[in-house]
Amino acid sequence: MAENGIQYQLMIEALATDPKARLLRVRVDRIRFSSDVVATTDYTLFINGRRVGPDGPGQSVKQGDTWKVSFKTVCSLAPYGNDVPQAATC
């Protein structure tokens, strides 16, 4: 789930359906909580078992009772697709 997912639905749906982006896999390597609602997430990206990058620190945010991938982190994944339009606020 992504932060403010409905607001950025077109980009998120494009990531989910783009053939190249669908190959993307993420391994979470470390999570550090900076507050009750924000965490930094170190991750490694793979496509077909090969590491692609740059790896990130990304961010997770808690909305309601659910932890979600931050919008900024979702924006950083858009280039891994062939035809994923980025939201204007990326």
Residue 67 located in a structural domain: yes
On whether residue 48 sits in a domain, the answer given is yes
How far is it, in rounded angstroms, from Cα 2 to Cα 90?
A: 14
Q: Are 33 and 39 in contact (CB under 8 A)?
A: yes
Residue 3 in this model has a pLDDT that exceeds 90 = no
Mean pLDDT (whole number) for 7-29: 89
Distance between CA atoms of residues 10 and 85, nearest Å: 8
Give pLDDT, residue 40.
96
Total number of domains in the chain: 1
Please state the rounded mean pLDDT for residues 4-23: 86
Q: Which of 1-10, 21-30, 39-48, 61-70 has the lowest mean pLDDT?
A: 1-10
Task: Give the pLDDT of residue 9.
Answer: 86
Q: How far apart are the C-alpha atoms of 87 and 31, rounded to whole Å?
A: 26
Q: What's the CATH number where 63 sits?
A: 3.10.450
Average pLDDT estimate for 41-63 = 90
85 assigned to some structural domain: no
Where in the sequence is the domain holding 17, given as residue range(s)? 9-80
